[in-house]
Protein backbone atom coordinates (compact mmCIF):
# COMPACT_ATOMS: atom_id res chain seq x y z
CA UNK A 1 0.00 0.00 0.00
CA UNK A 2 1.24 3.48 -0.80
CA UNK A 3 1.61 6.41 1.56
CA UNK A 4 -1.90 7.27 2.70
CA UNK A 5 -1.77 11.04 2.22
CA UNK A 6 -4.12 12.20 -0.54
CA UNK A 7 -5.90 15.38 -1.60
CA UNK A 8 -9.45 14.73 -2.76
CA UNK A 9 -10.86 17.31 -5.12
CA UNK A 10 -14.63 17.52 -5.43
CA UNK A 11 -15.15 19.03 -8.87
CA UNK A 12 -18.94 19.12 -8.44
CA UNK A 13 -18.35 21.42 -5.45
CA UNK A 14 -16.32 23.74 -7.71
CA UNK A 15 -19.21 23.99 -10.15
CA UNK A 16 -21.62 24.53 -7.24
CA UNK A 17 -19.48 27.35 -5.84
CA UNK A 18 -19.36 29.08 -9.21
CA UNK A 19 -23.15 28.96 -9.06
CA UNK A 20 -23.03 30.71 -5.67
CA UNK A 21 -20.85 33.47 -7.17
CA UNK A 22 -23.24 33.84 -10.09
CA UNK A 23 -26.27 33.99 -7.83
CA UNK A 24 -24.56 36.67 -5.72
CA UNK A 25 -23.72 38.77 -8.80
CA UNK A 26 -26.48 37.83 -11.25
CA UNK A 27 -25.96 40.68 -13.71
CA UNK A 28 -22.18 40.42 -13.98
CA UNK A 29 -20.06 38.10 -16.07
CA UNK A 30 -17.49 36.08 -14.13
CA UNK A 31 -13.79 35.53 -14.66
CA UNK A 32 -13.02 32.36 -12.68
CA UNK A 33 -9.66 33.04 -11.03
CA UNK A 34 -7.51 29.94 -11.57
CA UNK A 35 -4.07 31.38 -10.84
CA UNK A 36 -1.57 29.42 -8.71
CA UNK A 37 -2.64 26.08 -10.17
CA UNK A 38 -6.26 26.96 -9.38
CA UNK A 39 -5.36 27.76 -5.76
CA UNK A 40 -3.65 24.37 -5.50
CA UNK A 41 -6.56 22.38 -6.94
CA UNK A 42 -5.08 21.72 -10.40
CA UNK A 43 -5.56 24.03 -13.38
CA UNK A 44 -6.80 21.46 -15.87
CA UNK A 45 -9.39 19.80 -13.65
CA UNK A 46 -10.56 23.08 -12.15
CA UNK A 47 -11.03 24.77 -15.51
CA UNK A 48 -13.06 21.77 -16.67
CA UNK A 49 -15.32 22.06 -13.63
CA UNK A 50 -15.57 25.84 -14.08
CA UNK A 51 -16.10 25.90 -17.84
CA UNK A 52 -19.49 27.58 -17.33
CA UNK A 53 -17.60 30.73 -16.27
CA UNK A 54 -17.49 33.56 -18.83
CA UNK A 55 -13.72 33.78 -18.64
CA UNK A 56 -10.63 32.74 -16.72
CA UNK A 57 -8.00 34.75 -14.90
CA UNK A 58 -4.42 33.50 -14.64
CA UNK A 59 -1.01 34.99 -13.95
CA UNK A 60 1.29 33.53 -16.58
CA UNK A 61 1.13 33.13 -20.33
CA UNK A 62 2.02 29.42 -19.85
CA UNK A 63 -1.15 28.85 -17.85
CA UNK A 64 -3.25 30.60 -20.46
CA UNK A 65 -1.54 28.58 -23.22
CA UNK A 66 -2.43 25.43 -21.32
CA UNK A 67 -6.09 26.45 -21.26
CA UNK A 68 -6.04 27.31 -24.97
CA UNK A 69 -4.43 23.93 -25.76
CA UNK A 70 -7.31 22.29 -23.89
CA UNK A 71 -9.74 23.99 -26.22
CA UNK A 72 -11.10 26.85 -24.13
CA UNK A 73 -12.11 29.84 -26.21
CA UNK A 74 -13.09 31.93 -23.16
CA UNK A 75 -11.61 35.36 -22.58
CA UNK A 76 -8.50 34.84 -20.44
CA UNK A 77 -6.96 37.67 -18.46
CA UNK A 78 -3.35 37.89 -17.36
CA UNK A 79 -3.59 39.41 -13.89
CA UNK A 80 -0.08 40.91 -13.93
CA UNK A 81 -0.12 41.71 -17.62
CA UNK A 82 3.07 41.12 -19.55
CA UNK A 83 6.48 41.12 -17.90
CA UNK A 84 8.53 41.67 -21.06
CA UNK A 85 7.64 42.91 -24.57
CA UNK A 86 8.86 39.53 -25.91
CA UNK A 87 5.63 38.00 -24.60
CA UNK A 88 3.33 40.21 -26.65
CA UNK A 89 3.22 38.22 -29.91
CA UNK A 90 2.24 35.09 -27.96
CA UNK A 91 -0.33 37.06 -25.95
CA UNK A 92 -1.85 38.34 -29.19
CA UNK A 93 -1.73 34.95 -30.90
CA UNK A 94 -3.51 33.28 -27.96
CA UNK A 95 -6.02 36.17 -27.75
CA UNK A 96 -5.20 36.84 -24.11
CA UNK A 97 -6.21 40.00 -22.30
CA UNK A 98 -3.29 41.47 -20.37
CA UNK A 99 -3.85 43.77 -17.42
CA UNK A 100 -2.05 47.02 -18.13
CA UNK A 101 -1.04 48.35 -14.74
CA UNK A 102 1.80 50.78 -15.57
CA UNK A 103 1.80 53.64 -18.03
CA UNK A 104 4.99 52.34 -19.70
CA UNK A 105 3.21 49.05 -20.44
CA UNK A 106 0.52 51.00 -22.29
CA UNK A 107 3.23 52.73 -24.33
CA UNK A 108 5.09 49.50 -25.09
CA UNK A 109 1.89 47.74 -26.14
CA UNK A 110 0.81 50.69 -28.28
CA UNK A 111 4.18 50.79 -30.07
CA UNK A 112 4.43 47.04 -30.64
CA UNK A 113 3.78 45.60 -34.08
CA UNK A 114 1.16 42.95 -33.60
CA UNK A 115 -0.83 41.19 -36.26
CA UNK A 116 -3.87 40.59 -34.05
CA UNK A 117 -6.09 42.81 -32.03
CA UNK A 118 -5.45 42.71 -28.29
CA UNK A 119 -8.16 43.48 -25.72
CA UNK A 120 -6.83 44.81 -22.44
CA UNK A 121 -7.82 45.59 -18.88
CA UNK A 122 -6.53 48.91 -17.65
CA UNK A 123 -5.95 48.75 -13.93
CA UNK A 124 -6.35 51.76 -11.68
CA UNK A 125 -4.78 52.06 -8.26
CA UNK A 126 -7.64 53.28 -6.10
CA UNK A 127 -6.06 52.64 -2.72
CA UNK A 128 -4.62 49.15 -2.57
CA UNK A 129 -1.28 50.67 -3.61
CA UNK A 130 -0.04 47.50 -5.24
CA UNK A 131 -0.68 47.47 -8.99
CA UNK A 132 -2.40 50.07 -11.13
CA UNK A 133 -1.94 53.50 -12.61
CA UNK A 134 -2.78 56.68 -10.77
CA UNK A 135 -6.35 57.61 -11.79
CA UNK A 136 -5.05 61.10 -12.70
CA UNK A 137 -3.11 59.52 -15.53
CA UNK A 138 -6.11 57.68 -16.95
CA UNK A 139 -6.92 60.18 -19.76
CA UNK A 140 -3.39 60.18 -21.22
CA UNK A 141 -3.07 56.39 -20.84
CA UNK A 142 -6.38 55.85 -22.59
CA UNK A 143 -5.22 58.18 -25.37
CA UNK A 144 -2.04 56.10 -25.75
CA UNK A 145 -4.00 52.86 -25.97
CA UNK A 146 -6.63 54.28 -28.30
CA UNK A 147 -3.94 55.64 -30.59
CA UNK A 148 -2.93 52.09 -31.57
CA UNK A 149 -5.13 50.33 -34.11
CA UNK A 150 -4.22 46.89 -32.76
CA UNK A 151 -5.56 47.63 -29.29
CA UNK A 152 -9.17 46.51 -29.07
CA UNK A 153 -11.59 46.58 -26.17
CA UNK A 154 -10.57 48.28 -22.94
CA UNK A 155 -12.04 47.23 -19.60
CA UNK A 156 -11.29 49.34 -16.55
CA UNK A 157 -10.27 47.43 -13.46
CA UNK A 158 -9.33 47.91 -9.85
CA UNK A 159 -8.79 45.68 -6.82
CA UNK A 160 -9.97 46.15 -3.23
CA UNK A 161 -7.60 46.04 -0.28
CA UNK A 162 -10.24 45.45 2.40
CA UNK A 163 -13.36 43.96 0.80
CA UNK A 164 -13.32 41.32 3.54
CA UNK A 165 -13.37 43.60 6.56
CA UNK A 166 -13.90 47.31 5.92
CA UNK A 167 -16.94 48.59 4.05
CA UNK A 168 -15.81 52.23 4.34
CA UNK A 169 -12.54 51.41 2.60
CA UNK A 170 -14.42 49.66 -0.22
CA UNK A 171 -16.66 52.70 -0.55
CA UNK A 172 -13.67 55.04 -0.79
CA UNK A 173 -11.98 52.93 -3.47
CA UNK A 174 -15.26 52.60 -5.35
CA UNK A 175 -15.72 56.39 -5.30
CA UNK A 176 -12.22 56.98 -6.66
CA UNK A 177 -12.89 54.43 -9.39
CA UNK A 178 -16.26 55.93 -10.34
CA UNK A 179 -14.80 59.42 -10.40
CA UNK A 180 -12.08 58.30 -12.82
CA UNK A 181 -14.41 56.17 -14.97
CA UNK A 182 -17.21 58.71 -15.13
CA UNK A 183 -18.39 59.49 -18.64
CA UNK A 184 -16.02 57.03 -20.29
CA UNK A 185 -18.64 54.35 -20.82
CA UNK A 186 -16.12 51.52 -20.51
CA UNK A 187 -16.86 48.10 -19.02
CA UNK A 188 -15.49 47.60 -15.51
CA UNK A 189 -14.21 44.78 -13.29
CA UNK A 190 -13.72 45.35 -9.57
CA UNK A 191 -14.99 42.59 -7.31
CA UNK A 192 -13.06 39.68 -5.79
CA UNK A 193 -14.89 37.01 -3.73
CA UNK A 194 -15.36 39.23 -0.68
CA UNK A 195 -16.78 42.10 -2.73
CA UNK A 196 -19.03 39.72 -4.68
CA UNK A 197 -20.51 38.44 -1.43
CA UNK A 198 -20.73 41.65 0.61
CA UNK A 199 -20.60 44.66 -1.69
CA UNK A 200 -23.11 44.32 -4.54
CA UNK A 201 -22.56 47.95 -5.58
CA UNK A 202 -19.12 46.86 -6.86
CA UNK A 203 -20.28 44.08 -9.19
CA UNK A 204 -20.19 46.10 -12.44
CA UNK A 205 -19.67 44.13 -15.68
CA UNK A 206 -17.17 41.44 -14.69
CA UNK A 207 -16.54 39.91 -11.28
CA UNK A 208 -13.40 37.95 -10.37
CA UNK A 209 -14.22 35.17 -7.89
CA UNK A 210 -11.22 33.25 -6.56
CA UNK A 211 -11.23 31.74 -3.08
CA UNK A 212 -15.01 31.28 -2.95
CA UNK A 213 -14.85 28.92 -5.93
CA UNK A 214 -12.69 26.63 -3.82
CA UNK A 215 -15.25 26.66 -1.03
CA UNK A 216 -13.43 28.82 1.50
CA UNK A 217 -14.82 31.98 3.03
CA UNK A 218 -12.93 35.23 2.41
CA UNK A 219 -14.20 36.52 5.77
CA UNK A 220 -12.83 35.94 9.25
CA UNK A 221 -16.33 36.26 10.73
CA UNK A 222 -18.33 33.98 8.43
CA UNK A 223 -17.73 30.37 7.37
CA UNK A 224 -17.86 29.03 3.84
CA UNK A 225 -20.75 26.85 4.87
CA UNK A 226 -22.74 29.87 6.09
CA UNK A 227 -22.17 31.41 2.64
CA UNK A 228 -23.55 28.31 0.92
CA UNK A 229 -20.13 27.18 -0.30
CA UNK A 230 -18.93 23.58 -0.42
CA UNK A 231 -15.33 22.62 0.39
CA UNK A 232 -13.46 21.43 -2.70
CA UNK A 233 -10.17 20.06 -1.35
CA UNK A 234 -10.10 17.51 1.45
CA UNK A 235 -6.60 16.61 2.61
CA UNK A 236 -6.71 13.13 4.09
CA UNK A 237 -4.20 10.74 5.58
CA UNK A 238 -3.94 7.99 8.17
CA UNK A 239 -2.19 7.24 11.42
CA UNK A 240 1.01 5.37 10.68
CA UNK A 241 2.07 4.96 14.32
CA UNK A 242 0.65 5.20 17.82
CA UNK A 243 2.80 6.06 20.85
CA UNK A 244 2.14 6.05 24.57
CA UNK A 245 3.83 9.04 26.12
CA UNK A 246 4.58 9.35 29.82
CA UNK A 247 3.76 12.50 31.72
CA UNK A 248 6.72 14.89 31.45
CA UNK A 249 8.07 13.47 28.19
CA UNK A 250 8.46 15.56 25.06
CA UNK A 251 6.90 14.92 21.65
CA UNK A 252 8.75 15.45 18.38
CA UNK A 253 11.56 17.82 17.39
CA UNK A 254 12.57 20.25 20.07
CA UNK A 255 10.16 18.55 22.46
CA UNK A 256 7.85 21.47 21.77
CA UNK A 257 5.01 19.63 23.47
CA UNK A 258 5.49 18.12 26.92
CA UNK A 259 2.88 15.59 28.03
CA UNK A 260 1.04 16.91 31.06
CA UNK A 261 -0.20 13.37 31.83
CA UNK A 262 0.29 9.88 30.43
CA UNK A 263 -1.29 9.99 27.01
CA UNK A 264 -1.79 8.21 23.72
CA UNK A 265 -0.70 10.08 20.61
CA UNK A 266 -0.88 9.33 16.89
CA UNK A 267 1.61 10.00 14.11
CA UNK A 268 0.04 11.16 10.82
CA UNK A 269 1.63 10.78 7.39
CA UNK A 270 1.59 14.48 6.50
CA UNK A 271 4.27 17.09 7.06
CA UNK A 272 5.51 20.44 5.90
CA UNK A 273 6.97 18.95 2.72
CA UNK A 274 3.38 18.11 1.80
CA UNK A 275 2.28 21.69 2.32
CA UNK A 276 1.02 21.41 5.89
CA UNK A 277 2.24 24.57 7.64
CA UNK A 278 5.26 24.03 9.88
CA UNK A 279 4.21 26.97 12.00
CA UNK A 280 1.01 25.14 13.05
CA UNK A 281 1.45 24.97 16.78
CA UNK A 282 0.08 22.53 19.37
CA UNK A 283 -3.70 22.84 19.28
CA UNK A 284 -4.30 23.10 15.54
CA UNK A 285 -7.59 21.28 14.83
CA UNK A 286 -7.48 17.92 13.06
CA UNK A 287 -9.99 15.07 12.66
CA UNK A 288 -9.07 11.50 13.64
CA UNK A 289 -11.71 8.94 12.78
CA UNK A 290 -14.08 11.84 12.21
CA UNK A 291 -13.50 13.16 15.76
CA UNK A 292 -12.10 16.61 16.38
CA UNK A 293 -8.76 16.64 18.17
CA UNK A 294 -5.53 18.68 18.08
CA UNK A 295 -2.00 18.53 16.78
CA UNK A 296 0.87 18.25 19.27
CA UNK A 297 4.34 19.72 19.06
CA UNK A 298 6.28 20.56 15.95
CA UNK A 299 5.24 19.50 12.45
CA UNK A 300 8.06 17.47 10.84
CA UNK A 301 8.90 17.29 7.15
CA UNK A 302 6.81 14.16 6.55
CA UNK A 303 4.76 13.67 9.73
CA UNK A 304 2.82 15.41 12.42
CA UNK A 305 1.55 14.36 15.86
CA UNK A 306 -2.01 14.29 17.15
CA UNK A 307 -3.63 13.89 20.53
CA UNK A 308 -5.65 10.65 20.77
CA UNK A 309 -7.14 11.35 24.22
CA UNK A 310 -10.56 12.03 22.67
CA UNK A 311 -10.35 9.00 20.36
CA UNK A 312 -9.17 6.10 22.52
CA UNK A 313 -10.05 3.53 19.86
CA UNK A 314 -7.87 5.20 17.19
CA UNK A 315 -5.23 2.86 15.80
CA UNK A 316 -2.66 2.58 13.04
CA UNK A 317 -4.70 3.06 9.87
CA UNK A 318 -7.33 5.33 11.42
CA UNK A 319 -8.38 8.01 8.91
CA UNK A 320 -7.23 11.58 9.48
CA UNK A 321 -8.59 14.75 7.90
CA UNK A 322 -6.16 17.67 7.87
CA UNK A 323 -8.76 19.99 6.30
CA UNK A 324 -11.77 19.86 4.00
CA UNK A 325 -15.11 18.13 4.47
CA UNK A 326 -15.81 18.14 8.23
CA UNK A 327 -12.98 20.56 9.04
CA UNK A 328 -13.03 23.88 7.17
CA UNK A 329 -9.61 24.91 5.86
CA UNK A 330 -10.30 28.44 7.17
CA UNK A 331 -10.47 27.03 10.70
CA UNK A 332 -7.11 25.29 10.34
CA UNK A 333 -5.64 28.44 8.77
CA UNK A 334 -6.95 30.66 11.57
CA UNK A 335 -5.43 28.35 14.18
CA UNK A 336 -2.01 28.76 12.60
CA UNK A 337 -2.23 32.47 11.99
CA UNK A 338 -2.68 32.39 8.24
CA UNK A 339 -5.44 32.26 5.64
CA UNK A 340 -6.96 29.42 3.63
CA UNK A 341 -5.37 30.77 0.43
CA UNK A 342 -1.88 30.02 1.76
CA UNK A 343 -2.71 26.48 2.88
CA UNK A 344 -4.48 25.54 -0.35
CA UNK A 345 -1.87 26.98 -2.71
CA UNK A 346 0.95 25.34 -0.73
CA UNK A 347 -0.23 21.78 -1.42
CA UNK A 348 2.98 20.06 -2.54
CA UNK A 349 3.33 18.37 -5.93
CA UNK A 350 4.23 15.09 -4.20
CA UNK A 351 0.72 14.76 -2.74
CA UNK A 352 -1.40 12.54 -4.99
CA UNK A 353 -4.69 14.08 -6.03
CA UNK A 354 -7.86 12.12 -6.50
CA UNK A 355 -10.77 13.69 -8.28
CA UNK A 356 -14.35 12.94 -7.41
C1 LIG B 1 -6.42 36.71 -6.88
C2 LIG B 1 -7.22 37.83 -7.38
C3 LIG B 1 -8.62 37.80 -7.31
C4 LIG B 1 -9.39 36.74 -6.58
O5 LIG B 1 -9.42 37.08 -5.22
P6 LIG B 1 -10.20 36.18 -4.14
O7 LIG B 1 -10.04 36.90 -2.86
O8 LIG B 1 -9.52 34.85 -4.13
O9 LIG B 1 -11.60 36.09 -4.63
C10 LIG B 1 -9.32 38.84 -7.91
N11 LIG B 1 -8.67 39.86 -8.52
C12 LIG B 1 -7.32 39.93 -8.56
C13 LIG B 1 -6.66 41.08 -9.22
C14 LIG B 1 -6.56 38.92 -7.99
O15 LIG B 1 -5.22 39.02 -8.03
Domain regions of the chain by residue span? 11-218, 233-355
214 carries an active-site annotation: no
Domain 11-218 CATH assignment equals 3.20.20.10: yes
Question: Average pLDDT for residues 334-353, to the nearest whole number?
Answer: 97
Q: Label residue 120 by pLDDT band (50, 70, 90).
A: very high
21 pLDDT more than 90: yes
Q: Label residue 105 by pLDDT band (50, 70, 90).
A: very high
Helix (H) or strand (E) segment spanning residue 68: helix 61-69
C-alpha 144 to ligand 1 mean position (Å): 27
**Is the CB of residue 195 below 6 angstroms from any atom belonging to ligand 1?**
no
107 pLDDT more than 80: yes
Instruction: Give the count of alpha carbons within 13 A of 216, CB side only.
Output: 28
Alpha carbon nearest to ligand 1 atom 4, residue: 210
Backbone angles phi, psi at 333, to 5 degrees: -60, -45
Locate all alpha helices (DSSP H) within 184-280, ordered by sequence. 193-198
> Quick one: angle between helices 103-111 and 138-146, nearest 10?
10
C-alpha 285 to ligand 1 mean position (Å): 27
What is the position in ligand 1's atom list of the atom closest to the CA of 123?
A: 13
What is the position in ligand 1's atom list of the atom closest to the CA of 196?
A: 9
Say what the pLDDT of residue 104 is. 97
Spatial contact of 47 and 66, defined as CB atoms under 8 Å apart: no
Identified catalytic residue from 136, 238, 253, 272:
253
User: Residue 237's CB: how many other CB atoms inside 10 A?
Assistant: 25
Q: What is the per-residue pLDDT across 131-161, written as a single tens digit (0 to 9) for each?
A: 999 999 999 999 999 999 999 999 999 999 9
Indicate the DSSP class of residue 132: -
Query: Using CA atoms, how far apart are residues 83 and 78, in angstroms rounded to an integer?
Result: 10
User: Residue 153's CB: how many other CB atoms inside 10 A?
Assistant: 13
C-alpha 207 to ligand 1 mean position (Å): 10
**Is the CB of residue 33 below 6 angstroms from any atom belonging to ligand 1?**
yes
Identified catalytic residue from 29, 35, 111, 272:
35
For the stretch 226-231, contacts whose Cβ atoms lie closer than 8 Å and that sit 24 or more positions apart, written own/partner, are 227/20, 227/197, 228/20, 229/16, 229/17, 229/20, 230/10, 230/13, 230/16, 230/17, 231/10, 231/13, 231/323, 231/324, 231/325, 231/328, 231/329
329 pLDDT more than 80: yes
Q: Return all residues near 66 (Cβ < 8 A) that are at least 6 apart.
A: 43, 44
Q: Which fold has domain 233-355?
A: Lyase, Ornithine Decarboxylase; Chain A, domain 1 (2.40.37)
172 pLDDT more than 90: yes
The answer to whether the 11-218 and 233-355 domains have the same CATH topology is no
1 pLDDT more than 90: no
Query: Using CA atoms, how far apart are residues 336 and 326, in angstroms rounded to an integer?
Result: 18
**Is the CB of residue 79 below 6 angstroms from any atom belonging to ligand 1?**
yes
11 pLDDT more than 90: yes
35 carries an active-site annotation: yes
347 pLDDT more than 90: yes
Question: Average pLDDT for residues 69-89, to the nearest whole number?
Answer: 98
Q: Label residue 356 by pLDDT band (50, 70, 90).
A: confident
Say what the pLDDT of residue 109 is. 97
Say what the pLDDT of residue 12 is. 98
**Is the CB of residue 192 below 6 angstroms from any atom belonging to ligand 1?**
yes
CA-based end-to-end distance of the chain: 21
C-alpha 198 to ligand 1 mean position (Å): 15
330 pLDDT more than 90: yes
**Is the CB of residue 159 below 6 angstroms from any atom belonging to ligand 1?**
yes
Local structure of 34: helix, strand or coil = coil
Nearest in space to 202 (alpha carbons), one of 1, 19, 12, 28: 28
Say what the pLDDT of residue 201 is. 98
Q: What is the per-residue pLDDT across 173-232, written as a single tens digit (0 to 9) for each?
A: 999 999 999 999 999 999 999 999 999 999 999 999 999 999 999 999 999 999 999 999
In this structure, the chain runs to a length of 356
**Is the CB of residue 193 below 6 angstroms from any atom belonging to ligand 1?**
yes
C-alpha 33 to ligand 1 mean position (Å): 7
C-alpha 6 to ligand 1 mean position (Å): 27
**Is the CB of residue 208 below 6 angstroms from any atom belonging to ligand 1?**
yes
Q: What is the per-residue pLDDT across 256-291, written as a single tens digit (0 to 9) for each?
A: 999 999 999 999 999 999 999 999 999 999 999 999
Amino acid sequence: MSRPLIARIDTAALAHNLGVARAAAPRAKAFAVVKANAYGHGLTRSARALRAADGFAVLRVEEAAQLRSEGYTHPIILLEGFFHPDELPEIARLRLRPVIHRTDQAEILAKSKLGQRVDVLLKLNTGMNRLGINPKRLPETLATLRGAAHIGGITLMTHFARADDDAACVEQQLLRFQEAAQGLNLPASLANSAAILRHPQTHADWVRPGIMLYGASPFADQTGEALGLLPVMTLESKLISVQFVRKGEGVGYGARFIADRDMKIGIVACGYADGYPRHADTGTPVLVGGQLTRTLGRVSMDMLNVDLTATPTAHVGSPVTLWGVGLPVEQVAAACGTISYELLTALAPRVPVEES
